Amino acid sequence: MRLVLAVLLVGVGLTAWAQPIAPYRAETLPIPSNQAGDTALLTQRWDDLRDVVFGTDDTMNGLFAFLVDGGVVPEFGASFGAVGGIDAKPFFSGFPELTRGGVIAASAPAAGRIFLFTTSGDGGLLTDLAAARPLTTSSPRSVALADFGDAGAFVFSGSTGNGLQRFLLEPLDGGLRATPTTPIATAAPVVGIAAAPSLHRVYVSAGIQGVLAFDPRDETPAVRPLVDAGVPLDVMAGLAVYPQRDGGALLLAAVPARDLFRIYRLQDDAAFVGEFVVALEDGGRRVRGSDFIDVWPGAFGNGDAGPLFPAGVIVVVDSATSAGANYKLAPWDALASQLGPTLPVDVPPFVDAPPPPPPPPPPTRLPFVSPATTTGREPALTADVALWPPAALTLGAFTRLAVFSTDGGVTASVPAPRGGFFGVDATARPFGPFPGGVIVASSQSPDGGLLMLLVPGGDGGLVALAAPLSVAAARGVALGDFGDAGSWVFFESGSDRLHRARLHLGDGGQPAATVGAELRLPAASLGLVAAPAFGQVLVSTVAGLVAVDVVGDGGLRALDAGSGDAAVSGLAAFPLLDGGLAVLGAVPALDRFRLFAYEGGRLERLVDFEVALPDGGEPLTAGAFVDVTRAPFGQNRDGGASPDSGFPLGVVAFGEALPDGGAAVRLVPFEALAAVAGLLSGDGGTGGGPGGGAGGGPPIVEPPMGCCSGAPASASLMALAFLAWLRRFARGRSSRTLSRLEP
């Protein structure tokens, strides 16, 4: 009897020793709570430092993204809550531009949500792809994404109950709309899900039922058993599919009770190929208790010396390390060579197909200095901002028109006469019948709108020039002096109409306005700015920018706004010496701003940028309004200019809606904007060429009013811009590492 036991023990030992090993050669740091859950891999070939190992914590707060270059994406974590499942796929063939950063699906069981993301082009941050409404379902846990080409793209989800939910994904409003389709019944809860697009099959592990398969193209799919679990110890959990170039696929399954993994060859049925364990190369330190597995069939882990896994990689959960549960990565080819017959080291067509183009370069970040903020907290949903050099700036904040000095003080406040203020524009230059310039503010009410014309009074307040002008429901406004063609105020109603009124002196020398014919726009308007040098007014609409001829037939011409991803609003402009016009706008949907060059009907996108605190903190939330002046700016209430608030070359103002419902105006020196756009020469003055900023090229920015063009730019501001960028780059990395083990 002892001899029989000894032979059995030796046999078992030889069997264990002979079992193929997938040797792990890299591992992540532990999940903080020691509760490592589902995992997924994602790589993008247009960015060598973006190969990501996703990890989850399904009991506490946790969605983690480990970078193979030695860090993590730090913007994940507690806000997601407990995460039940994660899956990641490269771009979807039906909408490659929208998903060029890959698609990530993460489930939040407690919230009943499935989050859909793509990685953006600014350091690995996530962009929410949910459109119309959140993807909600009952207690979602395991998730899987599948791109079936012409048959559609789907997200599948298992829950704590029986059955599988499926959602058809379609592009909508720059995001993805998830439409629920007929659920698929199973006799046991779904633990793992994987899809084989080339076979038009989805596979689920369902406890003692084993692995089931169905065709997602069917309206009511017939679920059939594929692999029988047999006994409880053979119950499979996480699944992954390794696609083959010939159209077939391999199915990888985790068997946590046996601390091993199984491989099946998939065609119409599943043929057992073999089992393997994940351990150190010599068989020591074996992975235990792994419920989850994923595989990437191409090169993964790019670095200076090339990819750490040039022929594919497997990632599994290790629940029993002394330091805490983490994820182990093993090369696919090292495993494939041990199985008989040898498994193919093969990449499917989607891996070496041309990738979608990379996203635009990350927005450049500017510092802002001397922020002038409102002293009250009035609703700011319709706040506009305009500059009145040299002494003050104005902010229309719904119920009043407030005037602020650059030291934050309020110098004047005018209540809205009817309805609420919406738009404001100002010029300190002579404007038609107003030699000292003019301020125009618009208001709206259910029965129409008003335009108020104001000038500064001797006591520092504002004086209305005449009774408010009754017009259509006025929202955004812009002033434009077209010389012999007249001085105009343009206003829009927030719909597809552009209105204009010519300002002049009427009977008794009082200001008057003659309202011209309205003009239909191609889409609802978002902002406008006059371009007198071209005899035009530029209007931003939800469909892009258009130019309207003021002098001539009043025709429309569409411009290529270069936005593509979001609408531009709240326009401002300043002239260029080559005869062109620089046009500045806000992109509220992206919390950034955009600068164009405009000339003769042609619009060229120069740069996207964000506005950050001087210490490099988080960027401000982009409001919908901007303004710019090239005049020296910064005089305070006492008539003096302080070192902290003086802007000798001009200033850019950004309106910001604050979280508490108030409004603020953020000021940036003009030279900081010009430097980012490549409009500065090497001596610090305004000059150079596009994309330059070095070396004395011909000046292309018009000198500021009342100031020589050679005035030096502030070195401290340029240093702040660099520090803001540096701190932002540092925040994109952390001390968490994906440590490498010597092979």
Residues 6+ apart with CB under 8 A from 631: 389, 390, 428, 650, 704, 705, 706
State residue 75's pLDDT score.
Answer: 54
- 448 or 187, greater pLDDT: 187
Does the pLDDT at position 65 exceed 70? yes
Tokens of 691: 């994309």
Task: List, for residues 293-314, the tens digit of each pLDDT value.
Answer: 999 988 888 766 778 888 899 9
Does the pLDDT at position 481 exceed 60? yes
State residue 352's pLDDT score.
Answer: 58
State residue 228's pLDDT score.
Answer: 87
Does the pLDDT at position 238 exceed 80? yes
Question: Where does 300-451 have alpha helices with state H?
Answer: 332-336, 349-352
Of residues 674, 102, 663, 76, the one with CA closest to residue 364? 674
> Residue 523 and residue 250: Cα distance in Å, rounded?
51
State residue 159's pLDDT score.
Answer: 81
Angle at 20 between CA 16 and CA 21, to 5 degrees: 100
Does the pLDDT at position 163 exceed 70? yes
- 276 or 703, greater pLDDT: 276
Of residues 731, 738, 743, 734, the one with CA closest to residue 54? 738
Task: List, for residues 91-108, the tens digit of each pLDDT value.
Answer: 888 888 888 788 899 888
Terminal Cα distance for the chain, rounded: 43
> Residue 178 and residue 132: Cα distance in Å, rounded?
9
- 11 or 703, greater pLDDT: 703
Give percent of the chain with pLDDT exceeding 90.
19
- 657 or 516, greater pLDDT: 516
State residue 649's pLDDT score.
Answer: 81
State residue 538's pLDDT score.
Answer: 92
State residue 240's pLDDT score.
Answer: 96
> Residue 418 and residue 398: Cα distance in Å, rounded?
11
Largest CA distance in the chain: 124
Tokens of 471: 């017009």
Give yes or no for a contact between 581 and 531, defined as CB atoms under 8 angstroms apart: yes
- 643 or 655, greater pLDDT: 655
State residue 324's pLDDT score.
Answer: 78
State residue 328's pLDDT score.
Answer: 92
Binned at pLDDT 50, 70 and 90, residue 125 comes out as: low
State residue 361's pLDDT score.
Answer: 61
Task: List, for residues 135-157, the tens digit of each pLDDT value.
Answer: 888 888 899 999 998 889 999 99
Question: Which residue(s) pair with 57 in the sheet?
Answer: 36
**pTM reported for the whole predicted model:** 0.55
Of residues 487, 548, 544, 550, the one with CA closest to residue 520? 548
Task: List, for residues 609-653, the tens digit of each pLDDT value.
Answer: 888 766 656 677 767 788 998 888 876 545 554 444 567 788 888
Locus of tokens 């792990």: 24
Instruction: State the DSSP string of 247-286.
Output: S-EEEEEEEGGGTEEEEEEESSSEEEEEEEEEE-TTS-S-
Residues 6+ apart with CB under 8 A from 29: 66, 326, 736, 737, 738, 739
Does the pLDDT at position 687 exceed 70? no
> Residue 367 and residue 723: Cα distance in Å, rounded?
9
Each as own residue / partner, the long-range contacts of residues 15-19 (CB below 8 Å, 24 or more positions apart, any chain) are: 17/283, 19/260, 19/275, 19/276, 19/277
> Residue 40 and residue 316: Cα distance in Å, rounded?
9
State residue 261's pLDDT score.
Answer: 96
Of residues 562, 440, 433, the one with CA closest to residue 486? 433
Question: Which residue(s) pair with 217 in the sheet?
Answer: none
Locus of tokens 């983690």: 64
Does the pLDDT at position 132 exceed 60? no
Rounded to a whole number of angstroms, the CA Rg of the chain reads 32
Task: List, for residues 109-124, the tens digit of each pLDDT value.
Answer: 887 888 888 876 444 4
> Residue 201 and residue 221: Cα distance in Å, rounded?
10
State residue 714's pLDDT score.
Answer: 31
Does the pLDDT at position 290 exceed 50? yes
State residue 283's pLDDT score.
Answer: 79
State residue 295's pLDDT score.
Answer: 95
Instruction: Tell me how far the alpha carbon of residue 15 is from its chain's centroid.
Output: 52
Q: On the CB side of 374, how many CA atoms lie within 13 Å of its CA?
A: 26
Task: List, for residues 310-329, the tens digit of each pLDDT value.
Answer: 889 999 999 877 777 889 99
Mean pLDDT of 255-265: 94
Does the pLDDT at position 395 exceed 60? no
State residue 307's pLDDT score.
Answer: 83
Of residues 624, 725, 125, the one with CA closest to residue 366? 725
Q: How is residue 704 annotated by DSSP?
A: P
> Residue 79 and residue 84: Cα distance in Å, rounded?
14
Task: List, for residues 497-537, the tens digit of each pLDDT value.
Answer: 888 888 888 877 777 888 877 888 888 888 899 999 899 99
Q: Which of 35-49, 373-387, 682-696, 713-727 has the highest mean pLDDT?
A: 35-49
> Residue 353 and residue 245: Cα distance in Å, rounded?
12
Per-residue three-class SS string for 27-58: EECCCCCCCEEEEEEECCCCCCCCCEEEEEEC
Mean pLDDT of 449-464: 78
Binned at pLDDT 50, 70 and 90, residue 74 comes out as: low
Angle at 184 between CA 42 and CA 249, to 5 degrees: 40
Task: List, for residues 368-390, the tens digit of each pLDDT value.
Answer: 654 444 433 343 334 677 887 76
- 255 or 390, greater pLDDT: 255
> Residue 89 and residue 135: Cα distance in Å, rounded?
18
For 182-196, 384-398, 493-507, 591-605, which range has the lowest pLDDT when averaged over its residues?
384-398
State residue 123's pLDDT score.
Answer: 42
Question: Which residue(s) pair with 603 in the sheet?
Answer: 598
- 465 or 644, greater pLDDT: 465
- 305 or 225, greater pLDDT: 225
- 418 or 248, greater pLDDT: 248
Mean pLDDT of 542-567: 73
Tokens of 454: 């104001």
State residue 613's pLDDT score.
Answer: 66
State residue 707's pLDDT score.
Answer: 39
Give yes or no for a contact between 509 and 560, defined as CB atoms under 8 angstroms apart: no
The side-by-side arrangement of strands in the sheet containing 270-279 is 21-23, 270-279, 260-266, 249-255, 239-243
Does the pLDDT at position 190 exceed 60? yes
- The pLDDT mean for the chain works out to 75
Binned at pLDDT 50, 70 and 90, residue 589 comes out as: confident
> Residue 348 and residue 331: Cα distance in Å, rounded?
17
CA dihedral (544, 549, 554, 555) in degrees, to 10, reads -50
Task: List, for residues 30-39, the tens digit of each pLDDT value.
Answer: 887 778 889 9
State residue 708's pLDDT score.
Answer: 33
Instruction: State the DSSP string of 352-366.
Output: HSPPPPPPPPPPEEE
Tokens of 314: 């497997």
For 277-286, 639-648, 683-692, which range has the lowest pLDDT when averaged over its residues?
683-692
For 136-140, 565-569, 595-599, which range has the lowest pLDDT when averaged over its residues?
565-569
Give yes or no for a contact between 524 and 531, defined as CB atoms under 8 angstroms apart: no
> Residue 373 and residue 377: Cα distance in Å, rounded?
10
- 132 or 367, greater pLDDT: 367
**Cis check: omega of the bond before 341, within 30 degrees of 0:** yes
Q: Burial level of 739, CB count in 10 A (0-12/13-18/19+)? A: exposed
State residue 287's pLDDT score.
Answer: 92
CA dihedral (196, 200, 205, 209) in degrees, to 10, reads -140
Neighbours of 435 (CB within 10 A): 10
> Residue 93 and residue 147: Cα distance in Å, rounded?
7
> Residue 738 and residue 329: Cα distance in Å, rounded?
10
Give yes or no for a contact between 330 and 23, defined as CB atoms under 8 angstroms apart: yes
Does the pLDDT at position 727 exceed 50? no
Question: Which residue(s) pair with 293 in the sheet?
Answer: 316
State residue 526's pLDDT score.
Answer: 86
Mean pLDDT of 248-271: 92
State residue 397's pLDDT score.
Answer: 45
| β-pair type (192-196, 184-189) | unpaired
Residues 6+ apart with CB under 8 A from 737: 29, 70, 71
Give yes or no for a contact between 657 and 621, defined as CB atoms under 8 angstroms apart: yes
